[in-house]
Structure 1
Amino acid sequence: MLALHCLGTADGQVVLWAEDSARPDRRPGKAARGAVEHPFAVPGAELAERLGVEGTELTVRALLPSHPSAPLPSPELVRDPLATAAAQRGAVRLRPWLVGGLATTAAVPEPDDVRLGASARYLAALREFAEDLVGRGRVLPAVTSSGHARWRPAPTGADSARLARLREAMPPALRAQQVGGDGLPAGTVLSSVLDTLVDTIARQRIGDLDLAPGGLVGDQAAAVTHALLSGLSGDPTMGTPALPTERLASALTTWRASAAHDGPVRACFRLHSPDGDETWAVEFLLQAADDPSVLVPASEVWNGGPNVLRRWVAQPADLLLAELGRAGRIIPEIDDALHDTHPTGLALDTAGAHAFLTRAGELDQAGFGVLLPSWWQTAAAEVGLKLTTTSPGTPGVVSGKSGMGRDELVQYRWDMAVGESTLTAAELKALADAKVPLVRVRGRWVHLDQRRLAAGLEFIRRSAEGSTSAGNIMALAALPPDDPLLPAPVVGIDGDGWLADLLNGRMEARLEPVKAPAGFGADLRPYQERGLAWMAFLDRLGMGACLADDMGLGKTVQLLALEALARADAERPPTLLVCPMSLVGNWQREAAKFAPDLRVHVHHGSSRGRLDEVDADLVITTYNLLARDSARFAEREWDRVVLDEAQNIKNSASRQSRAARSIPARHRIALTGTPVENRLAELWSIMDFANPGLLGSVHRFRARFAVPIERYHDEDAATRLRRVTGPFVLRRVKTDPTIISDLPDKVEMKQLCNLTAEQASLYQAVVDDMLLKVDESEGVQRKGLVLSTITRLKQVCNHPAQYLGDGSRIAGRSGKLARLEETLEEVIADGDKALVFTQFAAFGGMLVPHLAARFDTEVLFLHGGVAKARRDAMVERFQSGDGPSIFLLSLKAGGTGLTLTAANHVIHLDRWWNPAVEDQATDRAFRIGQRRDVQVRKLMCIGTLEEKIDAMIERKKALARLAVGTGEDWLTELSTEELREVVSLSAEVVIE
């Protein structure tokens, strides 16, 4: 595994270097007096071969954080913590190292065996910015002092804040190249790297153009032009004695200064809306390009200007005059203001204000600051349609014949509105008669789209009110503003009855909580009763639902309560529940515990039969089988299809996503704690399963919602998306006070995991070996045999590589590890932190590099070999707000004496069969100072000794603390038959 880094630029190219986890530890000796070779750096030639890029091999002197004898390994490349703990002693200081690197113009590659360090990730972000500049034409030619033609960035005013953020966010590793005794300043590195990237990208884009036609040699000016264009598209060298490159460089600098602004201070124009009369004012100011909050009015500039300006410019007044003259070429009215000796602003009428607003973007593109009224960006969309609906029925009624549904007739009325304020007939006439698109409505200035207004008035004249089905109203409310069925966007929804509540997102709060039916094995909490009522209500409407409660809030119990409620009054076809293989056992046991009257069938394994012959209420299957047996599932009539961990269909093009959408069912429910993990397209996939066609095709969804929201942060598009999906997505989070107050202080849960085929084979081999020997042993020998077998079986349940001790790969071989990864993924996505306990320090040492690579984050590991000072430093870092999210601890080293209240999740990877020991470990997070509820998960493998011993403890829970002594010695007293029952492997526990 490589960790790839960047060290700035050299000779117009980006310098890459890498650390290799497979390189043997080399003892470089102390680096106090001078730089020595970095022990883990990959030579440039080897790096070029492994990355598959071309470049020049070089050696760079870099200042890197180091112990006295070795550099710190980068966070992206975690070496074996147990093996290297002893070497990482002593104070950490910046020390010089000679790093082999590769100077290249290629984009940052990322093969499977390469992880990007912070500097390489930053370089990728900077390259994206450079591509954006080149794509927008924000580049200009220049000639360097050495006579080389270069493309240089010409950022606009809007880019200045982005540049400032990039400079502040620069990781130290990128500027670690040593010049003199120090590293390089962030501003210097940013300018150098951005110049290099812009020049490289611009050359790539124009390299195929014919910019050097023949016949230009005779005229010197033409020869200069020819040399410049050739230098900008190919070989940058221009310096020949016959060409006046110095004069050309000066001319280009002057031209560039007139076209773009890259100085520290620029002119800024702020438009003020009138309060009483119709006079608008444009205020002139000077603004710091790097800190847009620094604004100095022109009146102060003419009086000498505050001292803050002199940090950047010696003569602020001269700069302001030059800037106003440049802006006057874009907006002539600004040029007219220069007739005053000391211009401070510009007065405009409403028509002039509208002209200024429409051309303000040109000022911004030219590098000026522009401050416009907040209503300008959204006002054009504010004038739209308001829908008022009236529907009978009581929202809280979710059973019986309430008459509510998609086909129910409801009354509606359309009005024109600004925001949610309905316009009167007089106001509509005034808007229609307006001569200028800027109009004041109820004290607010509105940018009026006359064509939209005329179309809206005609729409209301034809269909102001009437009655139609609730389904039609829901479809109209979901339409985007550019749909031809509506002349203007829906800017407000109001009315009485269940439909208005549903469209406004008020339904969950107004639904009367529904009690679970008689015989249900749990008392639902109030928020769970509201969730049950919401799902039951949508069930009656025939609309799909996405229950997106946070992890630990009880999505499983709410769904089982819905099934029990639905089947209490009438016979129904079965419900198909699809979940990851690791959760099949959980669903079986939860159903048996909470809804024992439900007939449950698991469709899994080689012996799975015909689905049309299955007589059950709940059929459980896995995502793999959903795709493999999609034809079988499509042939059966289903009452409901439920997807647990519905993020498994986030890729709408995958086989299992297509299979899920193809299954015919009366009702559909998606259960997920993370409806959106990376992109909005994932939400589309889940919603298109629950309510097919609601969001249109994936291509229309991308154009209407995903691109505007993800790329341009369009608030209007986000509001429309919330309005469309809001009625069908119920999201409750643990941080909500109304939810937290309903939860206990500590929520404990047992999570059952399946064995992989490899684990099952190893497990059976260990059991067979013990059963052959146990009858022939007695006393201390028998005790030792039982305890060693239990230890070996627990190692197998954890991971084959732990049991075998062969250093083999980690990924994809353990059901328990897969469940741990799923849990940690949700924990990190929620911004939470987790403690992960294991009684095996060696297993922890294996997990640290794997989890660090899997989640691209640092993983702390506390074990018996960690010295007290380092242990205290780990605790302090984890407790800090920006510390690592995952803390792995061996049970003996971390089970007592620590306060780790930054974590609100505790995961016990392997069980210690003494409840007191587990409680002590859990109390590292669940103690005074903890402000959030703690969720405790105890991972066990289905059908193994882990589940069976837990069941034995549960059966005699009242005596558990007395009957179970320290450790696992009590297990050695079991008879051979009892041991056989405890350790034997149950059937059908293997993951696919």
Structure 2
Amino acid sequence: MTSASTMSRAELDRIVQNYLDDRASDEEADFLEANHALWSDSLWRLLEQADYALEKARQDVRGPERASVLNDLEDQCDHIDELISDLNGPVVVSGPDPDAVVIGTAQLQLSWSTGQIIAWAGGHEAEPADIEALQAMLDAHDGTAISWLENDPVDIAGRSEAVSLASPLTSALGWILGLGNVSLDDDTLGTSARWFGLAAAFAVELVAQGRMVPQLEQFRGGRRSVKGGLGTYHVRWAASVMDRDKLDALADAAPGAAMAVSDRKDRKEFAGAVVADLTDAITRIAALQIEVPAAPERPSTKNDVGETILCRLDGSAFQAPTGIGNDIVQRMGRWAQSVTGTANTRLLVKLNPPDEDDAWLAEVLAPGGRSGLEPVEVAMATASQTKSKTFNRQIQRLERLFPALLRPGGRRRGEVILSQDEAWQLMSDMGDSLVNAGFDVAVPALNRKKTTPTLRLTTESSETVVGAQQLADVRWSAVFGDVELTAAEIAQLASEARPMIKSQGEWIELDKVDLAAAAEALADRADKTKMSGAEMLRHALGLEGNPFGGQMSIAGQGWAADLLRSLNTLPEEPEVTPEGFQGELRSYQADAHAWL
């Protein structure tokens, strides 16, 4: 079974669903018992899905089967809820911790309006601060370097109003990001300001991973020119394939003060809009640092408008014919439709270990309801029309990122046999890129640490007589990790583009230089199939040289192997004045005495 560190969320949910349906194997049940935190997280996700399915059934299902369907879904929700309670204990409902709430003291608060951050001062059971106190708070938190403008007062729960200052997000972005690291002991900073620091950090992570796409938008509300039919447009960067769990956690933590001036009252919608606005601001700031050619002054053709878009990725406005501009708006919207927003349906790219023919099978799996995961081609054929279209858009995007999937020869779409080199690339670099692009990836365990080979001398002797000239059969091999390789196996690996072996449950790449050195060392010793006790002792002590340095590995049975293994028990500091001996032994004499 895949380890907890490499298991995808979809695979974990499949195992938990099997457990709920009493179809889990002993191995799967043991895995869940050993990973309670992962088990609990999956149960919460499944409970959310079951609640959604129940609510949808209440709206959509009609006819005689309605009662049966609703009862089944309610039973499923109750079953999951009971299991969560068994794992985590009953939910404790309590009020806010009085020690965690600053009462009667105005704190620096931040709110969001599209493209702007609003600063004001207020708190629980505290009078709103005046403009001088607000500016002092901003100064205390290094916010005076930002250009603040007077803004409309903030309505505090219909009871009072607080004076406020506003600044564009692009001007305040660095300052907002730093608020997430302010010590919790500082009671002059409100939770809303800290929340925006966390939201900015999430947006930075999205941009760093390339999870944003450009969209063209038309300014609305302005007067449009009659002659020529011109419209005003600008580029806006949309966040793409946002992690749903992270966004939900951010939304759940959103304080009311952060939403004080927003017309969005749903926390998830609000958090998504804030992160999207922050992502746009970060990317536009980055685009300003790039030197680009001058844009066409009066774009009038599709090519002109396309060049203007590329020259104005910083979001600056330009005018273009509405026929061309609106067409590009729609085209770019369709192009990014499959990635914008949160990744609700994630495909899984699974790489199976090589079979007996050393073939690496990569397959794309899609969520299949209660049946868990199934091949994406099967999912597209059996899912609803809407979900099938979603799967199709996702697999098309995946095929562009992972072109090997387009190679003919697979049994069905989304399956391909990979070479050793392609499998390594998927396990090492490409897998991370696919995760950043919003896909789940499950691959065999990988170890990037370089493995140093050692020589192994295996002795085979049926004689019981020990002597310096007593001969024994010997066999030479090279050991990488815990894998012993013969000369023929080394030659086979050296011929591969990306030689790999599985050691201690993990795949490791072998250096071709090490393989060549191992092949040479075994070739030099190929004729030595019998050795005396004295010769083996010299090799074990390193007197005959070791191409890899360090100690030689000893294996086998019989007196010769026991003789060599006894060298490993020698003390690091042998006694140089043994009892009954007058004088002091030299180091090699002391080693020999200890061995005897």
Residues 294-335 of structure 1: per-residue CA shift (max 9 Å, x gap): 755436514524xxxx7xxx5222332333333333444422
Q: Tell me which residue corresponds to 2:165.
A: 102
Give the whole-Å Cα distance in 1 for the aligned partners of 2:155 and 2:511.
Answer: 63
> Residue 130 of structure 1 is aligned with which of 193, 203, 212?
203
Instruction: Map 1:589-738 onto structure 2 (within 5 A).
Output: none
Residues 583-614 of structure 1: per-residue CA shift (max 9 Å, x gap): xxxxxxxxxxxxxxxxxxxxxxxxxxxxxxxx
Structure 2 residues without counterparts, runs of 5 or longer? 1-104, 220-231, 457-476, 525-537, 544-549, 551-566, 574-596
Q: Indicate conservation of the 8 Å contact 2:238/2:276, yes or no.
A: yes
Alpha-carbon distance, 1:213 to partner: 1.4
1:149 aligns with 2:149: no
TM-score normalised over the length of structure 2? 0.51
Residues 140-162 of structure 1: per-residue CA shift (max 9 Å, x gap): 32233535524424546xx6267
Alpha-carbon distance, 1:457 to partner: 4.0
Report the secondary structure of 2:213's partner residue: strand
Report the secondary structure of 2:243's partner residue: helix
RMSD over aligned Cα atoms: 5.1
Report the secondary structure of 1:103's partner residue: strand
Q: Tell me which residue corresponds to 1:253.
A: 333
Report the secondary structure of 1:423's partner residue: strand
Structure 1 residues 495, 18: closer, same or farther in 2, change over 3 A? farther
Q: Indicate conservation of the 8 Å contact 2:211/2:436, yes or no.
A: no
Instruction: Map 1:886-901 onto structure 2 (within 5 A).
Output: none
Report the secondary structure of 1:253's partner residue: helix
1:140 aligns with 2:213: yes
Report the secondary structure of 2:282's partner residue: helix
Report the secondary structure of 1:381's partner residue: coil
Residues 666-691 of structure 1: per-residue CA shift (max 9 Å, x gap): xxxxxxxxxxxxxxxxxxxxxxxxxx
Give the whole-Å Cα distance in 2 for the aligned partners of 1:496 and 1:199.
Answer: 66
> Residue 11 of structure 1 is aligned with which of 92, 97, 114?
114
Give the whole-Å Cα distance in 1 for the aligned partners of 2:130 and 2:517.
Answer: 69
Give the whole-Å Cα distance in 1 for the aligned partners of 2:137 and 2:302.
Answer: 45
Q: Tell me which residue corresponds to 2:434.
A: 364
Alpha-carbon distance, 1:19 to partner: 4.1
Instruction: Map 1:910-949 onto structure 2 (within 5 A).
Output: none
Alpha-carbon distance, 1:54 to partner: 1.5
Letter in 2 for 1:196: D
Report the secondary structure of 1:384's partner residue: coil
Q: Tell me which residue corresponds to 1:335.
A: 406
Q: Indicate conservation of the 8 Å contact 1:119/1:171, yes or no.
A: yes
Q: Tell me which residue corresponds to 1:324.
A: 395
Q: Tell me which residue corresponds to 2:243.
A: 160
Alpha-carbon distance, 1:121 to partner: 2.8
Q: Tell me which residue corresponds to 1:301.
A: 379
Q: Indicate conservation of the 8 Å contact 1:47/1:102, yes or no.
A: no
Structure 1 residues 126, 431: closer, same or farther in 2, change over 3 A? farther
Structure 1 residues 143, 495: closer, same or farther in 2, change over 3 A? farther
Highest RCO, 1 vs 2 (Cα 8 Å, sep ≥ 6): 2
Letter in 1 for 2:166: A
1:384 aligns with 2:452: yes
Report the secondary structure of 1:364's partner residue: helix
Letter in 2 for 1:123: F
Give the whole-Å Cα distance in 2 for the aligned partners of 1:13 and 1:455.
Answer: 63
Structure 1 residues 102, 162: closer, same or farther in 2, change over 3 A? farther
Letter in 2 for 1:5: Q
Letter in 2 for 1:160: D
Give the whole-Å Cα distance in 1 for the aligned partners of 2:408 and 2:389.
Answer: 16
> Residue 490 of structure 2 is aligned with which of 429, 448, 463?
429
Give the whole-Å Cα distance in 1 for the aligned partners of 2:455 and 2:258.
Answer: 57
Report the secondary structure of 2:382's partner residue: coil
Q: Tell me which residue corresponds to 2:272.
A: 191
Q: Tell me which residue corresponds to 2:360.
A: 280
Alpha-carbon distance, 1:364 to partner: 0.6
Alpha-carbon distance, 1:10 to partner: 0.9
Give the whole-Å Cα distance in 1 for the aligned partners of 2:417 and 2:354.
Answer: 11
Q: Tell me which residue corresponds to 2:67.
A: none
Q: Tell me which residue corresponds to 1:450.
A: 511
Structure 1 residues 279, 363: closer, same or farther in 2, change over 3 A? same
Q: Tell me which residue corresponds to 2:8.
A: none
Alpha-carbon distance, 1:163 to partner: 3.7
Alpha-carbon distance, 1:418 to partner: 4.8
Residues 377-425 of structure 1: per-residue CA shift (max 9 Å, x gap): x2x426335799xxxxxxxxxxxxxxxxxxxxxxxxxx97554x36355
Structure 1 residues 302, 241: closer, same or farther in 2, change over 3 A? closer
1:54 aligns with 2:143: no
Letter in 1 for 2:164: G
Q: Indicate conservation of the 8 Å contact 1:150/1:199, yes or no.
A: no
Alpha-carbon distance, 1:192 to partner: 1.8
Structure 1 residues 295, 118: closer, same or farther in 2, change over 3 A? farther
Letter in 2 for 1:140: V
Alpha-carbon distance, 1:185 to partner: 2.6
Structure 1 residues 49, 348: closer, same or farther in 2, change over 3 A? closer
Q: Indicate conservation of the 8 Å contact 1:267/1:323, yes or no.
A: yes
Structure 1 residues 304, 243: closer, same or farther in 2, change over 3 A? closer
Instruction: Map 1:534-613 onto structure 2 (within 5 A).
Output: none
Q: Indicate conservation of the 8 Å contact 2:451/2:480, yes or no.
A: yes
Q: Indicate conservation of the 8 Å contact 2:294/2:311, yes or no.
A: no
Give the whole-Å Cα distance in 2 for the aligned partners of 1:371 and 1:464.
Answer: 47
Give the whole-Å Cα distance in 2 for the aligned partners of 1:460 and 1:98.
Answer: 84
Give the whole-Å Cα distance in 2 for the aligned partners of 1:255 and 1:350.
Answer: 34
Give the whole-Å Cα distance in 2 for the aligned partners of 1:165 and 1:285.
Answer: 25
Structure 1 residues 150, 13: closer, same or farther in 2, change over 3 A? farther
Alpha-carbon distance, 1:373 to partner: 2.4
Structure 1 residues without counterparts, runs of 5 or longer? 29-37, 65-94, 389-414, 469-475, 477-493, 501-992
Q: Indicate conservation of the 8 Å contact 2:349/2:364, yes or no.
A: yes
Alpha-carbon distance, 1:165 to partner: 6.1
Give the whole-Å Cα distance in 2 for the aligned partners of 1:497 and 1:260.
Answer: 66
